């Protein structure tokens, strides 16, 4: 269908001449053509994940060289790095919902923190003593509700999301402090307890899966994803639809398998100084589950399609009969709920909640991670996967500078500069698009 067909001479125009004007072929049958089309897209402004991959490699090389005793790439540090990054990853995936719409949510740090405090408070044995799953469900429901309220204000009153969520930032900071003081504790509620129910939350982040089961689980996931990709692409190729060449599909599956093997291999190295600590931490499957859920929602459902459409052209979406207000409100609810997951992981990492949680910093890192990963600040472009990659970059910088015993002010400055660089790349690539519609020259 995409092949130019010989057109009968039309008295109205030199249609054949128009064909010469067509942008470089984006349809590609071989790996080489695909690579060329990819380069063409990048020059057209769609830079994709290239900067973040380059950034990740640079971070690994630089910090491995300069870290004391070259500990950066040691198994224990890499696992720790992933655990730190996981919070940024999940928060960045949350922020992705707002960013694709061309909005921003500044409240998710403290809003998510409110959710985490609710979860931590509800499982305390001396007070409510809720089962861990009920506490998490209640916390996430509260976050979603708060997000939906913010979304409703943004859509129904037409106030910019920046202002509404800036107010939310302050409000939820206050709410979090109030929630922290509930309960008959001296100090703040924490998760360090002999109670097995509380320990589930404590182990969300760092509790390990048995090494053998880690391998089996990884195999199942890789075979499952690889099978879906292979048979899906093969079906589309047979039907004559636009599909990548088999070599590219195999390459992608190979990369996923390699990543899975590397992650499990690193996690299964004993990383304890005394005794044995090995296996994939629970946070890995949790992050993967969030990634899978939001990837499917955004790329395979009507809802996700509408989110992209609104981000690209809200007026077109409205004319297509899409209920823009409803979609945006739901997006803010999902954003806040995901933020709840992120900060619950954070609570698990630090073993409780306290007034030390830096909600503002978490938000900025989340936005930075999403944008560094390739999500546009200007709406219409972004994926859940971008949040994961960008979160790894932020986590890598944070962890690497921490290993240098650099104080927090320098970490702030460097992270800020990285964010500025990422946003600049985003803005420049966008300008390239505007200047050269079609990405031709």
**For binding to other proteins (CB under 8 A), which residues are involved?**
1-5, 7, 10, 12-15, 17-19, 21-23, 25-27, 44, 46, 235-236, 239, 241-242, 296, 300-302, 305, 308-309, 311-313, 315-317, 319-322, 380-381, 433, 437-439
Nearer to other proteins, 19 or 210 (CB): 19
* DSSP code string of 387-411: HHHHHHHHHHHHHHHHHTT--HHHH
- Token readout for 211 is 């090494």
The backbone torsions φ and ψ at residue 208, rounded to the nearest 5 degrees and listed phi first, read: -105, 150
CB of 124 to other proteins, least distance (A): 39
CB of 24 to other proteins, least distance (A): 8
CB of 7 to other proteins, least distance (A): 6
- Say if residue 203 is exposed, middle or buried (CB neighbours under 10 Å; 0-12, 13-18, 19+): middle
Query: How many angstroms separate the CA atoms of 335 and 340, rounded?
Result: 9
Q: Are 233 and 226 in contact (CB under 8 A)?
A: no
CB of 6 to other proteins, least distance (A): 9
Q: Are 352 and 192 in contact (CB under 8 A)?
A: yes
Nearer to other proteins, 18 or 420 (CB): 18
Nearer to other proteins, 2 or 71 (CB): 2
Query: How many angstroms separate the CA atoms of 402 and 399, rounded?
Result: 5
Query: How many angstroms separate the CA atoms of 243 and 252, rounded?
Result: 13
CB of 438 to other proteins, least distance (A): 5
Nearer to other proteins, 160 or 232 (CB): 232
Nearer to other proteins, 279 or 379 (CB): 379
Residue of 151, 45, 107 whose CA lies nearest to 340: 107
CB of 241 to other proteins, least distance (A): 5
Query: How many angstroms separate the CA atoms of 219 and 188, rounded?
Result: 41
Nearer to other proteins, 239 or 272 (CB): 239
Nearer to other proteins, 26 or 141 (CB): 26
CB of 391 to other proteins, least distance (A): 23
Long-range contacts of 64-73 (CB under 8 A, 24+ apart): 66/404, 67/400, 67/403, 67/404, 68/403, 68/404, 71/403, 72/399, 72/400, 72/403
Sole residue written with tokens 């969520």: 165
CB of 3 to other proteins, least distance (A): 8
Nearer to other proteins, 241 or 420 (CB): 241
């Amino acid at each position: 269908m995409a092949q130019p067909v010989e057109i009968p001479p039309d008295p109205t125009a030199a249609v054949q001449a128009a064909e010469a004007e067509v942008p470089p072929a984006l349809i590609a049958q071989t790996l080489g053509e695909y690579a060329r089309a990819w380069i063409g897209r990048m020059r057209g402004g769609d830079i994709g994940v290239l900067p973040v991959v380059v950034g990740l490699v640079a971070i690994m090389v630089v910090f491995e060289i300069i870290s004391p005793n070259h500990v950066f790439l040691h198994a224990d540090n890499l696992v720790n790095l992933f655990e730190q990054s996981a919070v940024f990853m999940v928060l960045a995936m949350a922020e992705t919902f707002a960013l694709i719409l061309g909005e921003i949510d500044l409240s998710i740090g403290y809003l998510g923190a409110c959710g985490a405090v609710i979860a931590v408070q509800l499982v305390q044995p001396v007070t409510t003593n809720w089962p861990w799953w009920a506490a998490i469900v209640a916390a996430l429901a509260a976050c979603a509700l708060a997000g939906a309220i913010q979304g409703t204000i943004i859509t129904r009153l037409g106030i910019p999301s920046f202002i509404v969520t800036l107010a939310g930032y302050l409000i939820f900071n206050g709410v979090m402090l109030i929630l922290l003081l509930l309960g008959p504790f001296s100090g703040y509620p924490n998760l360090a307890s002999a109670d097995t129910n509380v320990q589930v939350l404590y182990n969300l982040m760092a509790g390990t899966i048995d090494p053998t089961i880690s391998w089996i689980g990884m195999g199942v996931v890789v075979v499952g994803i690889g099978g879906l990709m292979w048979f899906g692409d093969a079906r589309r190729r047979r039907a004559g639809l636009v599909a990548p060449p088999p070599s590219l599909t195999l390459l992608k599956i190979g990369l996923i398998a390699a990543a899975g093997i590397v992650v499990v291999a690193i996690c299964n190295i004993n990383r304890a100084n005394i005794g044995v600590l090995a296996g994939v931490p629970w946070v890995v499957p949790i992050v993967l589950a969030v990634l899978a859920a939001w990837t499917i929602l955004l790329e395979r459902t009507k809802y996700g399609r509408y989110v992209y459409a609104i981000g690209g052209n809200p007026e077109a979406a409205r004319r297509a009969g899409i209920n823009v207000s409803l979609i945006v409100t739901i997006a803010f609810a999902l954003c806040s709920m995901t933020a709840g997951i992120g900060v619950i992981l954070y609570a698990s990492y630090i073993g409780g909640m306290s007034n030390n949680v830096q909600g503002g910093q978490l938000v900025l890192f989340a936005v930075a991670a999403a944008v560094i990963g390739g999500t546009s600040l200007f709406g219409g472009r972004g994926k859940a996967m971008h949040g994961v990659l960008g979160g790894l970059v932020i986590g890598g910088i944070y962890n690497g500078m921490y290993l240098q015993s650099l104080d927090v002010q320098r970490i702030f400055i460097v992270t800020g500069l990285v964010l500025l660089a990422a946003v600049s790349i985003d803005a420049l690539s966008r300008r390239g698009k505007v200047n050269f519609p079609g990405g031709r020259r």
